[in-house]
């Protein structure tokens, strides 16, 4: 762990709320605060996995006793940026029974009849759970903006509605960990080619991905607007350099660990008479 680590990765990767964001100025191959090299990071990630599991159990246990707190990890990023890989490698370290994972696809006809936050509200984690959004309500100001799926005034109003929504979540005990997985245009090209060339990866490829890629500059601009407009102290954005998968996994694990440690969930004491239960139990054994 470098000296920067002492500061907490949260402070290092957090985009300053209220400031303009220039994505091109962030190096997608950077590895801030990482242990020294890939092997050390993988070893550290494995160690963190155990701690994450223990903290998750405490969060869950507290939830059974009325603690309303929970975590919501929001993963956003261009195609191939590694949202699915993060779920597999980072979320895979938790007990799956305490995780509520939702991958948002294009909205269904039924969903389109409602406000854009309708389907998001239905996928929120319950108290004690770790929620994971693979894509999210941000698509409604990303692809919706780039592909003109709504008029500009509607898009414009959504930033504020997202902020109101996220504030209400925070007030209800949700710790938001919003991660933008930042890859370069070149890295996306390499990853798409790999999907085409490897038979075991080809099922992930969609010819439409090439059309989306042609809109790269518009997407970067839409991301910059979203990251600028929708960052608050209770719901900041973290920019994760994501060209290196080992760093991406390490960094998201580390962010979750820092947040869970700060929550410091406790096992409930139990509201029953332990001695009396012990006696009743031993009588029957």
Q: Which residues bind its own copies (CB under 8 A)?
A: 61, 64-65, 84, 87-88, 91-92, 94-97, 99, 101, 103, 134, 186, 189, 192-193, 196-197, 199-200, 202-205, 207, 210, 213-214, 267-270, 272, 274, 277-278, 280-282, 284-285
Six token digits for residue 223: 């991301």
Give every CB contact of residue 160 below 8 A, 6+ residues apart in sequence.
Answer: none
Sheet holding 174-182, edge to edge: 99-103, 130-134, 70-77, 174-182, 237-241
Of the candidates 201, 252, 276, the residue with the CA atom closest to the CA atom of residue 10: 252
Calpha distance 223→227 (Å, rounded): 6
Which lies closer to its own copies via its Cβ, residue 36 or residue 267? 267
Of the candidates 283, 187, 176, 186, the residue with the CA atom closest to the CA atom of residue 238: 176
What pairing do the DSSP bridges indicate for beta strands 130-134 and 237-241?
unpaired
Which lies closer to its own copies via its Cβ, residue 149 or residue 196? 196
Which lies closer to its own copies via its Cβ, residue 148 or residue 202? 202
Closest separation in Å from C-beta 151 to its own copies: 29
SS (H, E, C) 74-114: EEEECCCCCHHHHHHHCHHHCCHHHEEEEECCCCCHHHHCC
Closest separation in Å from C-beta 51 to its own copies: 14
Which lies closer to its own copies via its Cβ, residue 236 or residue 265? 265
- Grouping H, G, I as helix, E, B as strand and the rest as coil, residue 179 is strand
Closest separation in Å from C-beta 205 to its own copies: 7
Which lies closer to its own copies via its Cβ, residue 158 or residue 191? 191
Which lies closer to its own copies via its Cβ, residue 164 or residue 186? 186
Which lies closer to its own copies via its Cβ, residue 60 or residue 165? 60
CB 22 within 8 A of CB 220: no
Q: For residue 29, how many other CB atoms are within 10 A of its CB?
A: 13
Calpha distance 274→261 (Å, rounded): 29
Closest separation in Å from C-beta 152 to its own copies: 28
Closest separation in Å from C-beta 273 to its own copies: 8
Closest separation in Å from C-beta 277 to its own copies: 6
Closest separation in Å from C-beta 16 to its own copies: 32
Give every CB contact of residue 195 below 8 A, 6+ residues apart in sequence.
Answer: 80, 201, 202, 204, 205
Which lies closer to its own copies via its Cβ, residue 67 or residue 166? 67
Closest separation in Å from C-beta 159 to its own copies: 28
């Amino acid at each position: 762990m470098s000296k920067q680590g002492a500061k907490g990765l949260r402070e290092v990767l957090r985009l300053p709320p209220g400031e303009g964001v220039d994505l091109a100025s962030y190096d997608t191959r950077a590895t801030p605060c990482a242990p020294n090299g890939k092997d050390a990071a993988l070893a550290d990630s494995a160690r963190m996995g155990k701690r994450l599991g223990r903290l998750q159990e405490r969060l869950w246990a507290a939830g059974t006793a009325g603690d309303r707190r929970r975590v919501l990890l929001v993963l956003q990023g261009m195609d191939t940026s590694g949202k699915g890989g993060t779920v597999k490698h980072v979320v895979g370290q938790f007990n799956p029974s305490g995780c509520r994972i939702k991958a948002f696809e294009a909205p269904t006809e039924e969903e389109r009849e409602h406000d854009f936050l309708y389907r998001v509200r239905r996928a929120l984690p319950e108290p004690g759970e770790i929620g994971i959004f693979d894509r999210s309500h941000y698509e409604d100001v990303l692809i919706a903006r780039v592909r003109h799926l709504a008029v500009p005034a509607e898009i414009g109003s959504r930033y504020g509605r997202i902020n109101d929504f996220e504030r209400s979540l925070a007030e209800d005990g949700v710790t938001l960990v919003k991660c933008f997985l930042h890859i370069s245009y070149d890295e996306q090209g390499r990853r798409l080619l790999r999907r085409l060339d490897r038979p075991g990866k080809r099922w992930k490829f969609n010819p439409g991905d090439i059309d989306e890629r042609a809109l790269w500059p518009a997407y970067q601009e839409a991301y910059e607007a979203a990251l600028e407009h929708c960052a608050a102290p209770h719901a900041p954005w973290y920019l994760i350099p994501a060209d290196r998968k080992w760093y991406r996994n390490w960094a998201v694990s580390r962010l979750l660990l820092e947040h869970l440690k700060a929550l410091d969930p406790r096992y409930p004491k139990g509201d029953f008479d332990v001695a009396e239960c012990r006696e009743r139990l031993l009588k029957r054994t």
